[in-house]
Amino acid sequence: MAESICRVLRDGALEGEHAPALTIKDSIASPFGFHVFSHVLSQLSSFLFAGKSQSRGLVIVSFSRSPSFYLELLKSKGIDVVSSDKRIQILDCYSDPLGWKDRLIEAGSFTALSHESSVSSTAIVFKNVKYMDKLYNSIIELGRGLVGGGRNRFSVAIDSVDEMLRHASISSVASLLSNLRSHDQVSSVFWLLHSDLHEDRVTSVLEYLSSMVASLEPLHEPANGQRGDLEKFSLIEHNAKKGKFHARFKRRNGRVRLMSEEVRIEQSGINFTSLSSEGAVNQGLAPKVQFNLQLSEKELIDRANVVLPFEHQGNGKPIQIYDGRRSLVDSKQERPVAVTEKVQTNEDSGRGEIIYFRDSDDEMPDSDEDPDDDLDI
Amino acid sequence: MVMEDPEAPHHMLLLRNFMAQGLVHNQPLLYASPNRDPRGFLGTLPSPAASKDDKSRQRDPDQEKGLRIAWQYKKYFGENQLNFDGQRDGKHEYSNEFDLRKPLERHFLSGQRVECVSFQDCPNLSALQDHCATFLSQFPRNDGNISCVGRIAIQSICAPQCEYSNMEWDMLSFIRSLKSMVRSSNAVAIVTFPPSLLSPSFCKRWQHMSDTLLSVKAIPDEDKELAQLLTGYQDMVGFLNVHKVARINTQVPLILEATTFSIKLQKRRFLVLECLNQAPVDGSSGASYGTSGSCSGSSKTGNLDF
């Protein structure tokens, strides 16, 4: 399923369509968002270098990690960004997002450190994170620099939308993301979000803007009730390495595809496996009917206990079927049910009986009498 | 007003039909959207389907009800009788059938009749309000006959990329003034919005503002439960719910036979609404809604084709 996500990003946008956009969403209960982001990033990069993706270049907008981190990450996956031809550029919003160093240098109280030469060729420092339009222009510029003009496309990875939201309003961030998606040269966009850092509305907005939402949830929900500390600890430990990974794809035909997997964090990285137990919970949009077509457990048992009015019950013993000729001697009811005709009631009194109340117990059984005989026509 | 589902673009299908229908009948159109280039959307408007002769004339009144829910805009023009069937003829038959695979002919989209407005970069809604006011001034409501009617289509008015999208009172006030402008002119307006992006209290207020309220919903793909429950699941792309129907100048409520419809694309060309039968009420009341008792598909296919 994570592969499906990477494939969608790899295949990119059709002509005249918005670029696919992925939101990776996590929370403190299952904080593996960055692992997933790195995984998607490395997958997309390997597609890129193998020439299998629609995009010819990748721009990484790094807020929460330094550019050298990404270079190392990609190197560990076998992708050497610096030496090979220029396919990846990093817009460094980590080192000096608000341009303080420049101002300090001007004020004379700071001497600039020199960047590593290898990093500076792939990373451009961006100093105006408060201005989303400038950020947008820089991303586009970088991307164009990578792939040239015309119909060539590039992908964009934003490692933390949370940082962007610290500096700018949600509407300007939304505007940037939707402009990226609708730009002719953007093939795909993806970003990471920590949902518990924001109001619900922010998460809804970002989900509205994306065509795929990947969310991470803890495998075992911590209960709110009183639990022993030991139990809590083991839960936390459990959740620390594993989690549930849900994805919602907005498909072109207007339907929504839901998929789930289990995710495990190991030394070598992140691992996706199919859910061990039946996980998919579908609330269902099916119209709710007002009657229950299913039988509950108790009802099933009771039904099995009813003695059917057949001569042969299938267990070898003959059975006397009540045929209306006896009256019930010991009636357990306090007040007899008033009936004008034969009424057969099935009561589940554990065994299943058919209880018949005659009109009056004095009447002789009327086996041969024709009840219409006393009509005076 | 149409409540969008953030996970599916079904409201665009409704908008397309609304806009195409207006243009085919020579009704000027104002289209506003948060995209930079709203004119691009006009290229996706469908062309009227080759009409099956006399089909639209022979519809019996029962089925008219379904059409009346959303598509007979004439009743918004002040004549509030339910059986207002006059003036259906004209140069074009008033048809609800459009072929999504065939784009609308260019001559329908010529400048005079279509105005496109983008509100993405507007700091507030006053510019859009002015546009609407100017547009609607072409259709003043006189006591005389209706010479010309107009249509306004506003898509995703509270889209998050607009600066004013967190100014909820302002947006509400815009809707209110649009409503009053439309009431006093010979025009109708469709406004779509994603309710999940509004705070709950404002969502309710917006819903109250509407005369007719619809909502569209996406359906999950490859859902075995739904596939068993609904026939024709394979062709369905979503659901349409009718929450409210305009009742202007009357106290008589409209009880609909069905409020949930499935949206299907037949042969990927025709948008079809089929009513999903409501759940039967408990047996004691006797009456059951809908025409058949099962939960399966429908009995009204073909008549709500549009």
**First-to-last C-alpha distance (Å) of chain B:** 19
**First-to-last C-alpha distance (Å) of chain A:** 83
The residue written with tokens 């009346």 in the block is: B68
Residues of chain A contacting B160 with CB distance shorter than 8 Å = 170-171, 174, 178, 205, 208-209
Using one digit for the tens of pLDDT, what is the confidence trace for A97-142? 888 888 888 887 666 655 444 456 778 888 888 889 999 999 999 9
Note whether residue B142 is domain-resident. Answer: yes
Residues A131 and A195 in one domain: yes
Alpha-carbon span B283 to A290, nearest angstrom: 10
**Which residue among B36, B197, B219 sits closest to A285, beta carbon to beta carbon?**
B219
Note whether residue B256 is domain-resident. Answer: no
- Domain at A10, CATH number: 3.40.50.300
- Domain at B83, CATH number: 3.40.50.300
Contact of B125 with chain A, judged by CB distance below 8 Å, is answered with no
Q: Which long-range contacts (CB under 8 A, 24 or more apart) does A218-227 make?
A: A218/A29, A218/A30, A218/A243, A218/A244, A219/A30, A219/A243, A219/A244, A219/A262, A222/A29
Note whether residue B157 is domain-resident. Answer: yes
Q: How many domains does chain A have?
A: 2
Residues A33 and A90 in one domain: yes
Residue to mutate among A17, A253, A278, A285, with most B CBs inside 10 A, is A285
Contact of B109 with chain A, judged by CB distance below 8 Å, is answered with no
Give the residue, B275 or A185, on which the prediction is more confident: A185
Counting one residue from chain A and one from chain B, the pairs whose CB atoms sit within 8 A come to 107
Alpha-carbon span B268 to A223, nearest angstrom: 47
Q: Which chain A residue has its CA at the smallest distance from B220's CA?
A: A256
Residue B262: per-residue pLDDT:
87
Residues A117 and A202 in one domain: yes
Note whether residue B246 is domain-resident. Answer: no
How near does any CA of chain A get to the CA of B282, in Å? 7
Residues A74 and A217 in one domain: yes
**Which residue among A204, A251, A287 sits closest to B278, beta carbon to beta carbon?**
A287
Alpha-carbon span A40 to B146, nearest angstrom: 59
Digit-by-digit pLDDT tens for chain B (306 residues) are 999 999 988 999 999 989 988 888 888 999 999 988 888 888 888 888 765 544 444 444 444 444 555 555 544 443 333 333 333 333 456 777 788 888 888 887 776 788 899 998 888 899 999 999 999 998 888 767 777 889 999 999 999 989 898 899 999 999 999 999 998 898 999 999 999 999 999 999 999 999 999 999 998 888 787 777 777 788 888 899 999 888 888 888 888 877 888 888 887 778 888 877 544 443 443 333 333 332 333 444 433 433
Residues A217 and A361 in one domain: no
The residue written with tokens 């038959």 in the block is: B93
Q: Answer yes or no: is pLDDT of A309 > 50.
A: yes
Residue A333: give the domain boundaries: 295-377
Q: Phi-psi bin for B90: left (phi > 0), alpha (psi -120 to 50), beta?
A: left
Note whether residue A290 is domain-resident. Answer: no
**Which residue among B36, B194, B221 sits closest to A257, beta carbon to beta carbon?**
B221
Residue B69: give the domain boundaries: 7-207
Contact of B232 with chain A, judged by CB distance below 8 Å, is answered with no
Q: Which long-range contacts (CB under 8 A, 24 or more apart) does B66-74 make?
A: B66/B257, B66/B273, B66/B275, B66/B300, B66/B303, B66/B304, B67/B96, B67/B304, B68/B245, B69/B212, B69/B242, B69/B245, B69/B256, B70/B14, B70/B212, B70/B214, B70/B242, B71/B21, B71/B96, B71/B306, B73/B149, B73/B151, B73/B188
Q: What is the ipTM of this complex?
A: 0.76
| pTM listed for this prediction | 0.73
Residue to mutate among B223, B288, B289, with most A CBs inside 10 A, is B223
| A243 pLDDT tier (thresholds 50, 70, 90) | confident
A182·B35 Cβ contact <8 A: yes
Nearest to A135 by CA among A180, A84, A171: A180
Q: Which chain B residue has its CA at the smallest distance from A168's CA?
A: B163
Residue A335: per-residue pLDDT:
41
3-state secondary structure of B206: helix
Residues of chain A contacting B194 with CB distance shorter than 8 Å = 208
Contact of B238 with chain A, judged by CB distance below 8 Å, is answered with yes
Contact of B228 with chain A, judged by CB distance below 8 Å, is answered with no
Residues A173 and A322 in one domain: no
Beta bridge partners of A345: A355
Residue to mutate among A208, A282, A289, with most B CBs inside 10 A, is A208
How near does any CA of chain B get to the CA of A1, in Å? 15
Q: How many domains does chain B have?
A: 1
Contact of B241 with chain A, judged by CB distance below 8 Å, is answered with no
B120·A205 Cβ contact <8 A: no
Work out the angle between the directed axes of helices A200-209 and A170-182 (0-180°, nearest 10).
Answer: 10
